[in-house]
Amino acid sequence: MRVTNQMVTSGSLRNMQKSMQRVDKLNNQVTTGKKISAPSEDPVVAIRALKLRTTVDQLDQYKNKNIQDALSWLDTTQTSVQNVYDRLQDVYYYCEQGAQDTFQTKDRHTIVEELQELKDAIYREGGMTYAGRYLFSGYKTETNLIFQDAASKEGLSYKITEDISPDKIENKNVVLNEIDTSKVDGIIAGTDTYNSPVSESVYKLRLSYNDLDKAQSDINIELKDAGGNVLSVLTPKVKQVADSATYYKVEAADGINYIPETGEIIFDQTMYDTVKNAASISVTYNKSNFAVGDLRPEMYFNCVQTRDMPDGTQKITDFTVDEAGQPIQYEVNFSQYITVNAQGKDFILHDMGNKIDDLASSVQDVLDIEETISKLKGLLELPQYKNDDAATAQINKMLTDADVELAMKRKNMQTLFGNNMTNFQNFMEQVSAVQAKVGTTYSKLELIETRVTEQLANFKELKSSNEDVETEEAAIEMYQSELVYESALATTSSVIKKTLLDYI
């Protein structure tokens, strides 16, 4: 086969082009540090790079965003739950002191204020936020667990349904016929009847709220069996607070009193014997007057909310409690989710606040009768009573009875504080269970963070191995390729310039 000059030229140029392309490729690798600059150069490397980059991006999202956000949420939750536990422990210490009645008269006003502050502090924890989201409101992260200000409760009323176990009915000692200094003149004149104070035991069921709507139609009580079937409907006698003899005295014909101001339902013995055998007591009541700091009903109970709108209409919303809970989950690894939230209804309870109110009320009862005794002693020094033997005798009789009332109320206070030691221990155990759950989740998340960090490092290494070149090797290869190219260039130039005459 005859080799022509044109064939030699074409072959040389093709080889030179290949050498130049190799030099250019290696130069790009040295410059960019990457094996390829276009998918067409190596489709296998390109496809693997896409997969590895996606994996690295996902792991980076898990490690530096999702996990960090979840850890911060849990850390804030731990702090808030611990605060609730500490406040309950403070109340427990007061219970220890109150059970022994170590309080001095001068301290009781302070104790009432401090107990109220402890209750408010517990409920305020329900309004804690993280990154603008409320921690303990379940899915309603834009809604506070409590009514945080006057605007948040404006125009709202609720029809609330509570299902309560008969075990929640308490036996309570109350004082009837309390001494009232405002009736002294009427008693002396014979226009008011005087009865000595007496102690009486009643059965009390405390609803979650007080200051309830007062109409008879605002209260409905049903006894249910284990299957939720209604056994009977009770019609309580609505009583308003005047004095203890009025609203704690249950008439046999009624058998049950409803006291809207205190949120108490009082049973006589016969009615209690009937109620205690039910599986549950379903109480539906209306409340339209809330205080700042009250827990929102929709976070705890099945209820119907009515909101008065600016245009004069009403917006009605039904709320149903999700018994399965409302977990907020973060994806912290591939197909691995972790629940970061605790719900307020699991550890910030109405019963906590109600029992603190009862404690404060029992201390206030002692303060009130001590003040009554002081007033009665002062009346004896007034001329209109001091010079009237009948009036003096009546006031002295009331003073004697007031001492009896003081003894009864102090005993009731001691008993209440003593009984609540167990209640607040139980509350603390309930909060501790939430603490343990949050702590366990935090520890688990830290382990996941360690594992994701290792995965991220491994996949970054794989990604680098797939995409990146060894700079030293690429530089040596480029240098060698440049030598080949330059040699080929020199050789080709000397070959191409020769003609046929040079070979004759």
Residue 130 pLDDT more than 90? yes
pTM of the model: 0.84
Query: Which residues are paired to 198 by β-bridges?
Result: 176
Segment 45-85, tens digit of pLDDT: 678 878 888 889 999 999 999 999 999 999 999 999 999 99
**Closest alpha carbon to 184 in 366, 14, 396, 25:** 396
For 240, list phi and psi in degrees, rounded to 5.
-110, 150
Q: What pLDDT does 246 receive? A: 74
Is the model more confident about 111 or about 478?
A: 111
Q: What pLDDT does 38 receive? A: 59
Q: What is residue 236's DSSP assignment?
A: P
What amino acid occupies position 6? Q
pLDDT band with cut points at 50, 70 and 90 for residue 349: very high
Q: What pLDDT does 52 receive? A: 82
Q: Which residue's entry shows tokens 């530096």? A: 64
SS3 per residue for 431-499: HHHHHHHHHHHHHHHHHHHHHHHHHHHHHHHHHHHHHECCHHHHHHHHHHHHHHHHHHHHHHHHHHCCC
Average pLDDT over residues 356-362: 94
**Residues 449 and 67: beta-carbon distance below 8 Å:** yes
Average pLDDT over residues 290-318: 94
Segment 401-454, tens digit of pLDDT: 999 999 999 999 999 999 999 999 999 999 999 999 999 999 999 999 999 999
Residue 165 pLDDT more than 90? yes
Is the model more confident about 181 or about 240?
A: 181
